[in-house]
Homo-oligomer: A and B are copies of this chain.
Amino acid sequence: MYGKIALEEAWAIEENFKAYDVSSLAPKGVIGGDLIANLLDAHGTRLQQMDENGVDMMVLSLSSPGPQGQADPAEAAKLATLANDRLSDEVMKNPKRFAGMVSVSMHDPAQAGQELRRCFTEKKGFVGCIINDYQSAGDGNTMLFYDDPKYDEFWKVAEEMDCPVYLHPRAATPLIHEQMWKGRPWLEFSALGYAHRVGMHFLGIVTAGVLDRFPKLKLVIGHMGEHIPYDLYRIDHKLNRARFPNMPMRKDRLIRDYFGTQLFITTSGHFSTPALLCAMQEIGARSIMFSIDYPFESIPNGCVWYDEHVPISGHDLVDIGRNNALSVFSKLTNEVHGLETKSPPDCGVGGLGLRKGYEGEREYGLYNRDWSQRRR
């Protein structure tokens, strides 16, 4: 489909690479050529591939772990501000095609809220906020989690700004790595560990009652929901309040009740049709948004999957591929970015003769003119 919006798309500044060795993510050549070059780029190869693959808009965010990786509060805040200023500049070079997510240091909830407010009121081009799981603190083994009541001060600002918060994964602390993943490092990262940690954190925030206290706050997680949709029955079933009377979340609510209004997922990096169908069954199309996870994933891979392999109705395809993002990230519709909802025909979904280059084949419908080739 044309007109897709992609939400979990990484971008970086040179200064970020000082903070961690990006080759730990991928030796050069292993995933998609030059990872660093792809992270630094916006208007070159990235935009070209967006054009080639029907992506209208990419919402960029500083590559994980960003400020969350800085155990030093001042360093973390400094990186956030620097990255936000640069990202605003980058996005505003082409605001119809790019928007940004605010990075924040989460050492101090008040300061995090201030930075978020600054970006949403004084800078242009921001539509949401990204936080890379726990905030490293102390010696690097201390994890700050945002289900602590003191973070209400931050959530309050996010709600006030109508700023959805995207909870993105990151690697484990050295201590946890040593305890659990050392003998099987291939599982620590995107294959498994990322989802474990960020899924726990996400559910921690929900069960802490944050969404109840801030009923307009919206949280987003990627990777098809970090397997939460699949487990939703079991999670809700096991959060027995008689056993856990101190769990703060409203007693008349299930986790599933927050999806579609306050909780949302994206397809980033999990281009799996069975998982998407399961998520649609459990949380509904309205809770799901397309994303790629570039450059850790290939734009063509994600888009060809979505455009050609996902067997769902045209309306749902266009909602998940585009329109849902406009209601969740409402700033995408403001005068800076100017995005509007589209119908399936607007996006070339359904119909015949809509695909560029095949207008002359209209009369064949879903048939091929040439029997020896697969129809496009």
Taking A240-B364, A260-B313, A365-B239 as contacts, is the C-beta distance between A254 and B191 under 8 angstroms?
A: no
Q: Nearest CB to that of A193 among chain B residues?
A: B200
A242→B187 contact, CB < 8 A: no
Taking A191-B235, A271-B233 as contacts, is the C-beta distance between A260 and B315 under 8 angstroms?
A: yes
Cα of A260 to Cα of B349 in the assembled complex, Å: 14
A244→B186 contact, CB < 8 A: yes
Expressed in whole angstroms, the minimum distance between the Cβ of A271 and any Cβ of chain B is 7
A283 within 8 A of B: yes
Cα of A196 to Cα of B241 in the assembled complex, Å: 22
Cα of A254 to Cα of B191 in the assembled complex, Å: 13
Chain A residues numbered 259-275 whose CB sits less than 8 Å from any CB in chain B: 259-260, 269-275
B183→A145 contact, CB < 8 A: yes
Central interface residue in A207, A301, A304, by most chain B CB within 10 Å:
A301
A82 within 8 A of B: no
Neighbour of A371 across the interface among B186, B259, B295, B371, CB < 8 A: B295
On chain B, the residues within 8 Å of A184 by CB distance are: 145, 147, 200, 203-204, 207-208
A314→B257 contact, CB < 8 A: yes
Expressed in whole angstroms, the minimum distance between the Cβ of A114 and any Cβ of chain B is 25
Neighbour of A283 across the interface among B181, B183, B196, B313, CB < 8 A: B313
B237→A300 contact, CB < 8 A: no
Q: State which of A28-36, A86-94, A154-162 sits at the interface with chain B.
A: A28-36
On chain B, the residues within 8 Å of A237 by CB distance are: 269, 271, 365-367
Cα of A350 to Cα of B259 in the assembled complex, Å: 11
B227→A230 contact, CB < 8 A: yes
A247 within 8 A of B: yes
On chain B, the residues within 8 Å of A365 by CB distance are: 236-237, 239-241, 254
Name A's B-contacting residues (CB within 8 A). Answer: 26-27, 29-33, 38, 45, 49, 141, 143, 145, 147-148, 173, 175-176, 179-181, 183-187, 189-193, 195-197, 199-200, 203-204, 207-208, 223-224, 227, 229-245, 247, 251-254, 256-257, 259-260, 269-275, 277-278, 280-287, 295, 298-301, 304, 308-309, 311-316, 344-345, 350-354, 362-375
Q: A233-B366, A253-B352, A274-B282 are in contact. List 16 more A-B contacts (CB 8 A).
A: A31-B367, A176-B179, A184-B203, A187-B203, A191-B234, A191-B235, A231-B275, A237-B271, A237-B366, A240-B365, A240-B367, A251-B362, A277-B278, A298-B372, A298-B375, A300-B372
